[in-house]
């Protein structure tokens, strides 16, 4: 992208610098003039290192999030704090977590830490987007949602009756190609009517990829006509704070606890984020209020989908990008697609070669799946009195636009399974495993003929832990039934397919545990190879046994040279006779003292 200077850019220079530090890539509105595009575009491609180096600059001065003990009334505590310290209240949280956010002095925050009703206090941070006539967008075509029998993409308006939240900049309220049911404004901006209206465009574009209506105009989404809820947490410049995002998650969680059964949000898309980490304990160790809120939402059955981020960041690192690094969300990386087809034969685009990893996508074991992130069309917010000519736009690149493909896929799974919403974290984990595991046809491996080139811009020297996530692929998936709530969530057994030789696991166990060793045993449905990947962190499984290439169904591998009295996380890996590899979910054991 070229460096372009304009008066409009100078007026928002501070915002653009912050956005550049997080790899934001704005989209192009094709309905605008070339001059407008030049003014909208700026120097928004960052150096990958700038994101990590400037993390403390994202802290918001004199703005804090207070997480209270669960049995405390947040309104009462907020009122007491307001009276005692003269603070300005920003949000009160009652569903996703118990607490409040305020603007006030560091001295007030320090004093509140001594309150026995306070669990912890976190300084607020800035949050950023991850965007870097009838029309079938190339991304929808590439994942073959148009061939999915549940989506029924055929130009006839038959809507998918599931509620989806777009936690973003809002959704343009009069966009005719979107089925908007309502929303909430958690941002600091109050200029829009209705308050959840999109004044920036990003949320409207994300919503269109997830669920634009299948009719004779505009574009179509993965889950056509899905019920959309505009959860506006970012302002007209595409920026906001963690406290705003928590307000949005709180709203989403509230739909699963109120008495209105028609507004229950099943899936929430989060194409945004900030610098943070995953403590593997829902934020209770490192004092992360957003992580705690997301865990509460997942505990109520909300499937959370997050963009991986555009920073070439290893999500397994101690300090990385959240919510993408949280283990409770489905994390989506991006590939470039310029022609809506596999094979890498499409033209070179601004995002690079066709069918390569792209969009500066973050990587690591936290990434669950990939989807197209560049060059597709989606719905626009640039309408006059609800008239959008055209009512779609062409986007540039960003994992922001990969995530809603997967959000739509989760909706298709829920619909195909019978419309049963998850009600607890175990069922959400089940759905996540179905979407990212190879057995059920919701994705293909990068090495599949319908896959992609994993190399892209990466190399093994600079990115030694780079993984190759499967690619979303939707022509004919299976939808196994949800297990009962509060149940264990191993990879479920797929419906048998004649001639299928996909590897599935059972009876994964850690035995013979000593201070320095453990034996991992498991069984597979077909003769397969044996290997165990392991490490001392769920997000950094960086060790591996040698692969035993003998094809067996009863497997046993011994881990040695372990640390005593340490928690270890592991997954088993097996390949069948044709080389198709499967990995289990992560399990854990602790060595003896």
Q: Which residues are catalytic?
A: 168, 202, 400
Q: How far apart are CA 207 and CA 378, in angstroms?
A: 8
d(CA 198, CA 458): 35
Question: What are 539's two structure tokens?
Answer: 């997000």
Distances (CA, A) of 563 to 518, 532, 556: 11, 17, 20
Under a CB-based contact definition with an 8 Å cutoff, are residues 203 and 168 in contact? yes
Q: How many CA atoms lie within 13 A of 247 on its CB side?
A: 26
CA angle in degrees (0–180, nearest 5) for 542-546-552: 120
User: What are 561's two structure tokens?
Assistant: 């040279």
Place of tokens 């809820």: 229
Q: What is the number of other CB atoms lying within 10 angstroms of the CB of residue 2? A: 7
Rounded Cα–Cα distance for residues 360 and 309 (Å): 8
Report yes or no: 365 and 541 within 8 Å, Cβ to Cβ: yes
**How many angstroms separate the first and last alpha carbons of the chain?**
56
Tally of CB atoms within 10 A around 521: 17
Name the nearest CA neighbour of 246 among 164, 145, 323.
Answer: 323
Residue 460 phi/psi, 5-degree rounding, is -70, -15
Buried b (16+ CB within 10 A) or exposed e, 366-402: bbbbbbbbbbbbbbbbbbeeeebebbbbbbbbbbbbb
Alpha-carbon distance of 377 to 208, in angstroms, equals 9
- Read off the tokens for 591: 């060595």
């Amino acid at each position: 992208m070229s460096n372009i200077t304009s008066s409009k850019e100078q007026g928002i220079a501070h915002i653009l610098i912050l956005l550049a530090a997080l790899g934001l890539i704005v989209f192009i509105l094709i309905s605008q003039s070339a001059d407008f595009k030049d003014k909208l575009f700026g120097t928004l491609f960052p150096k990958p290192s700038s994101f990590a180096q400037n993390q403390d600059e994202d802290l918001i001065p004199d703005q804090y999030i207070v997480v209270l003990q669960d049995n405390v009334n947040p309104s009462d505590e907020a009122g007491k704090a307001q009276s005692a310290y003269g603070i300005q209240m920003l949000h009160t949280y009652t569903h996703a977590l118990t607490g409040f956010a305020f603007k006030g002095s560091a001295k007030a925050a320090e004093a509140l830490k001594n309150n026995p009703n306070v669990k912890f206090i976190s300084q607020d941070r800035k949050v950023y987007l991850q965007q870097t006539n009838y029309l079938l967008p190339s991304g929808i075509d590439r994942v073959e949602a148009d061939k999915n029998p549940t989506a029924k993409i055929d130009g006839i308006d038959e809507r998918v009756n599931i509620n989806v939240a777009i936690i973003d900049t809002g959704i343009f309220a009069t966009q005719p190609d979107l089925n908007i049911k309502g929303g909430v404004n958690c941002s600091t901006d109050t200029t829009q009517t209705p308050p959840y209206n999109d004044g920036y465009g990003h949320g409207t574009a994300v919503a269109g990829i997830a669920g634009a209506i299948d009719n004779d105009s505009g574009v179509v989404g993965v889950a056509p006509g899905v019920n959309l809820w505009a959860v506006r947490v970012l302002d007209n410049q595409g920026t906001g704070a963690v406290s705003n995002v928590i307000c949005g998650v709180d709203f989403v969680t509230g739909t699963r606890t109120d008495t209105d059964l028609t507004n229950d949000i099943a899936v929430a898309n989060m194409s945004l984020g900030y610098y943070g980490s995953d403590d593997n304990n829902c934020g209770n160790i490192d004092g992360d209020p957003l992580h705690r809120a997301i865990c509460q939402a997942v505990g109520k059955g909300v499937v959370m989908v997050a963009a991986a981020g555009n920073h070439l960041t290893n999500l397994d690192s101690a300090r990385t990008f959240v919510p993408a690094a949280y283990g409770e969300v489905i994390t989506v990386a991006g590939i470039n697609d310029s022609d809506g087809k596999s094979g890498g034969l499409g033209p070179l685009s601004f995002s690079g070669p066709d069918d390569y990893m792209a969009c500066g996508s973050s990587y690591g074991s936290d990434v669950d799946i990939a989807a197209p992130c560049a060059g597709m069309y989606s719905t626009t917010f640039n309408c006059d009195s609800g008239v959008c000519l055209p009512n779609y736009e062409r986007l540039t690149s960003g994992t922001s636009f990969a995530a809603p493909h997967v959000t739509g896929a989760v909706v298709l799974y829920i619909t195909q399974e019978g419309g049963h919403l998850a009600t607890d974290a175990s069922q959400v984990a089940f759905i996540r495993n179905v979407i990212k595991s190879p057995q059920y046809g919701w994705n293909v491996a990068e090495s599949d003929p319908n896959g992609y080139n994993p190399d892209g811009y990466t190399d093994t020297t600079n990115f030694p832990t780079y993984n190759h996530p499967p690619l979303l692929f939707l022509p004919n998936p299976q939808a196994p039934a949800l297990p009962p709530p509060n149940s264990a969530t191993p990879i479920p057994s797929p419906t048998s397919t004649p001639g299928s030789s996909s590897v599935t696991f059972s009876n994964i166990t850690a035995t013979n545990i000593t201070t320095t060793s453990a034996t991992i045993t498991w069984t597979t449905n077909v003769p397969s190879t044996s290997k165990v990947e392991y490490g001392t962190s769920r997000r950094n499984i960086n060790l591996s046994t040698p692969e035993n290439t003998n094809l067996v169904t009863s497997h046993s591998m011994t881990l040695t040279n372990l640390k005593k009295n340490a928690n270890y996380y592991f997954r088993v890996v097996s390949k069948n006779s044709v080389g198709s590899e499967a990995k289990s979910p992560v399990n854990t054991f602790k060595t003896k003292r």
